[in-house]
Amino acid sequence: MIRLTRARRLGAALAASALVLTACGGGGDDEASDTNTSEEETSAAPEGDGTLTLGSLLPQTGDLAFLGPPEFAGVDLAVEDMNAAGGVLGQDVVNVKADSGDGTPDIAGAEVDKLFNQDADAIIGAAASGVSVSVIDKITGAGVVHFSPANTAAGFDTYDDNGLYFRTAPSDRLQGQVLANLAVEDGFSNVAVMARQDFYGEGLAEQVQTTLEEKGATVADFVLYAADAQNYTAEVNQIAASKPDALVLVAFEETTKIIPQLIAKGIGPQDIQIYFVDGNLADYSSENFDLTGVKGTLPVSGDPDPGFNDRLLEIDPKLKDFSYGPQSYDAAIIIGLAAIAAGSDNGEAIGAEIINVTKDGTQCSTFEECAQLLEDGEDIDYEGASGPTDMNDTGSPASGTIGINEYSKGNKYKQVDQVSGIVE
């Protein structure tokens, strides 16, 4: 269940609530059990090579290449901050980069091998859930942390990941509910859903469908399509035949092909209300169609630092989009803090501490501050550039904020509202 609260003013702070997790153990004497567990964990704690190496598996090419620059900049800034504060375990953090080729899973596997060859202890990425799921077994099976700043597919909540997969973007259980609620609140009752047929698209579309029906709306049609199709004529015709009053389009770059076909069938942005998601919420100013009035959802920072984007611009002055930059920064910082807490740069040791450094301790908001607290023997609760980072026991954010955006003439969008929620 996800409880939602609407923030009517931009910049309103996310009212963060930590999800309290209780540990379950077997029977017998609790004190003896705790002692045995501690000894086992200490003796089994794997050692690293002394240098924390982060691998950035982020989109330089592919459908989500527009997300690559802010994500790379976020990791670069985090590494800069960590090293300026003395590094991790007395050594500078090393940052090696690779192309996730989001939208083309075949690229990611070979790029992961390159990161392994450079001794990556943790891999940050990919942006696309479908790409991450294609390499998650390879990464976690090697005892390496897999930490995405942008994966939102709900399927990761239950994926068997050896306790080594984490993310700083909220599950699409939240985005799907927010988007469906938005459509109903906007007054639409016969909503069609059209989505790419992959790990990301199907999961998000199904959550939208479920919530629409729970809210009493009719799902006019539910259509999945092959993302690499030459055209989407059959799917668009099917949607048009259902005569929807609104359409949720869960897509990536193929949006530029789908919109003209929707327009041709009389169900374009000027005919019915259309909703985008984080995968296709982009700048379309170079396209010749008109998206005025189209709305879209995007996970955002709950209580953003107004100066953070300026810091990203210092890393990459060419940035035009800042999506998932804060989440990428936080992913890298959390990994660094977990390594300090573990006293090791080994992936499995880091993974065992990641959730711990995000919750239930002394709050701190910079790497330097948090690292000092850890050195002093304190538990910490890292509050990041993307807002509260408290994780639940699946390694996903326990809460999140979804920005509501709207396109104006010129095909550029801006945030007009935001909704915060707690995942339970």
Count of other CB atoms within 10 angstroms of residue 96:
16
pLDDT attached to residue 105 = 61
- Which DSSP category does 60 fall into? S
* C-alpha triplet 371, 377, 379: angle, nearest 5°: 75
Q: Which residues of the chain have pLDDT under 50?
A: 1-3, 5-43, 45
Count of other CB atoms within 10 angstroms of residue 196:
28
Count of other CB atoms within 10 angstroms of residue 270:
14
pLDDT attached to residue 320 = 86
Encoded tokens for 407: 């396109």
pLDDT attached to residue 132 = 96
Rounded Cα distance, 273 and 7, in Å: 22
At residue 6, the 3 state secondary structure works out as strand
Q: CA torsion angle for 171, 173, 176, 181 (degrees, to 10)?
A: -130
Give 285-292's long-range contacts (Cβ < 8 A, gap of 24+). 285/410, 285/411, 285/412, 287/256, 287/259, 287/411, 289/259, 289/260, 289/263, 289/411, 290/409, 290/411, 291/259, 291/407, 291/411, 291/413, 292/407, 292/408, 292/409
pLDDT attached to residue 342 = 97
pLDDT attached to residue 39 = 41
pLDDT attached to residue 47 = 80
Nearest in space to 124 (alpha carbons), one of 105, 144, 154: 144
Per-residue pLDDT of 308-335, as tens digits, reads 999 999 999 999 889 899 999 999 999 9
pLDDT attached to residue 305 = 72
pLDDT attached to residue 28 = 35
